[in-house]
Amino acid sequence: MSSTPRNLFVALLHDNMVDKRGTVVTTSLTLLDIHDIARSTRTFAVNRFFIQHSSPVLRQLAGTLTQHWQSGFGSTYNPDRKEALAGVEVVSSLQEIRQVLGRAFRDVSLVATSAKPGGERTSFLRLRERLEAQPDTAFLLMLGTGWGMAPELLEEASIFLEPINGPCEYNHLSVRSACAIMLDRLRGVH
């Protein structure tokens, strides 16, 4: 699997989200999301997993968690978790992520995700093909929290990925579950 392009990145975003009433908010950090998404990103050869939060206190909490598994007791207690969390980077803004990626790649393409219908969508197959065909472009898979990304944030993306749908109308997966499904569709060996 060494031929897998290293141009796929994941960002768990907490700013510019909407709550169930549609109000734009900043959501709280969920430590379980960090653990589970890190394991998925490592499994599917994602280059880096960014955790974005504007709160210095919550960034510090995320940093404390990752440090525990990287160099604290957790690093010897569970080496698999250490490996999964090695690809995590805690940042304050989407702009900071763009700057990091812009230093390493010629182009940066933001990929929006949403379970809600609407908008012109790109299929998982088409994005998978682009990942392979454009190794000089960083593709940032943006994951929303709360009730999803605010419209202004969705509009920043150049790609809007199709939703994950089941056989019924209910469609409210956890971000952890949705991420694993998306990464399997983009990078899984079938």
- CATH number assigned to the domain comprising residue 49: 3.40.1280.10
**pLDDT band of 1, cuts 50, 70, 90:** very low
Instruction: Provide, rounded to the nearest whole percent, the portion of the chain with pLDDT above 70.
Output: 97
Residue 10 makes CB contacts below 8 A (sequence gap 6+) with: 37, 41, 46, 48, 49, 50, 140, 141, 143, 179, 183
**Does 187 score more than 60 pLDDT?**
yes
Is residue 1 included in any domain, yes or no? no
Over residues 33-38, mean pLDDT: 94
Contact status, residue 15 vs residue 59, Cβ threshold 8 Å: no
pLDDT at 171: 85
Neighbours of 131 (CB within 10 A): 19
**Count of domains forming the chain:** 1
Is residue 28 included in any domain, yes or no? yes
- Give the integer Cα–Cα distance in Å for 103 and 107: 9
According to DSSP, the residues that pair with 141 across neighbouring strands are 10, 111
Is residue 60 included in any domain, yes or no? yes
Domain, as residue range, for 157: 8-187
Phi, psi of 88 (to 5 degrees): -95, 135
pTM of the model: 0.93
Is residue 140 included in any domain, yes or no? yes
